[in-house]
Structure 1
Amino acid sequence: MQEVSGTYVKVNNTGYGNGEYSGVVGKAIQPDPPLAALIVSFAGYPSALADKPNYNIIALDTSSYALIYVCDDFLDLGSENAWILARDKTLDPTIVDTLRGNLTSLGVDLTKMHITNQDPGYCPPV
């Protein structure tokens, strides 16, 4: 990873599975402002070697949602991911449709996307 100098954002990536929480803390830098393309890295993971943007913000409403797209070719192993992140458990369906349209225009195969189970019994709040 390129050496971080100046301002960066702490990234706290947390998940719940097998009855327990786990997570990793990393950092994000914006190498080419004002482009919404970030280098997000986590020590000890392949992303720590990133030297070009690997996290692209496609759409953003800071009070409601972010649409993220990542296409990576680390070690020639292709990986494509997209996330609709929201501050609330649900988003208005018209917003979701618009964000899905953004992904479709990028050529993303939406049939591979799924909705994360937000039921508190499945993934209890911290």
Structure 2
Amino acid sequence: MLLLLFVSVILFDISYAQVYGFGRCAKVKTQETFDLSRYLGNWYEIYKFKANFEGNAKCISANYQLKSNGHIRVYNSGIENGKIRDAIGDAYIPDQTYPARLGVKFSSWAPYGRYWILDTDYTTHTLIYSCTDILGIFHFTYAWILGRERTMDQAVVDRLFNKAASFGIDTSNFLKQDQTGCTTS
């Protein structure tokens, strides 16, 4: 009975926190060639799957900078209730055979989560997918479309939605992000 209660609490927490589903994660293919140096710099969140750790922030951006140890400093920020809300994380490429499959974490005690780049041209867009299977019974998923500008051409958005859908990712979970009234940070 205690185990059932524990699992129920976990499922409730996960369902509130992000997109989840039964079964395994979608089988995706990350971008085969990936140049980290071209990926570094500022990106703006255009679409995302629900992620409660972002709260109700708007003007969300990410900045990626190479650290001396080969890892990547991740600085995410947004504006919530008129105040800057930010988080600093660490990312790296765990297997050079798959350079577009990064691991990322925002706490020293947390394990690295998936940050898999499905598509990027480095200058206008990137499509990111993250999914974790729980015992093969259910999974929880995050996905983002980021741009180098605060707006993105609808044709690019449509192409990225189609690419995500081709892997079995439910694009109806994407939420448009508010990038209006933002400073140039």
Same fold (TM over 0.5): yes
Displacement of 1:34 in angstroms is 4.0
Q: Which has the larger radius of gyration?
A: 2
- 5 Å-filtered alignment, 1:51-90, equals 54-73=114-133, 78-90=139-151
| 1:41 to 2:101 alignment | no
Query: For the residues of structure 2 that align with 1:100 and 1:8, how far apart are their CA atoms?
Result: 29
C-alpha change, 1:73 and 1:23, in structure 2 (3 Å) is farther
- Aligned residue for 2:159, secondary structure, equals helix
Q: How far 1:72 moved relative to its partner?
A: 2.0
Q: 1:8 aligns with which of 43, 56, 71?
A: 71
Instruction: Among all aligned residue pairs of Structure 1 and Structure 2, give the percentage whose two residues are the same amino acid.
Output: 33
User: What's the Cα RMSD here?
Assistant: 2.4
Q: Which whole-Å deviations, capped at 9, do the CAs of 1:37-83 have from their partners, x for residues lacking one?
A: 011011157xx223xx6110000111111110111247988321111
2:164 is the counterpart of 1:103: yes
> How many Å apart are 1:111 and its aligned residue?
1.3
TM-score of the superposition, structure 1-length normalised? 0.79
Higher relative contact order (CA 8 A, sep 6+): 2
Counterpart secondary structure, 2:176: coil
Counterpart of 2:150 in structure 1: which amino acid? Answer: K
Correspondent of 1:31 among 94, 103, 120: 94
For residue 67 of structure 1, what is the amino acid of its counterpart?
L
Q: Aligned partners of 1:7, 1:44: CA distance in 2, in Å?
A: 17
SS at match of 2:141: strand
Shift of 1:6: 4.0
Aligned amino acid, residue 76 of structure 2: N
Q: How many residues align?
A: 115
Tell me the secondary structure at the aligned position of residue 10 of structure 1: strand
DSSP-derived class of the 1:28 partner: strand
Distance in 1 between the 2:152 and 2:88 partners? 27
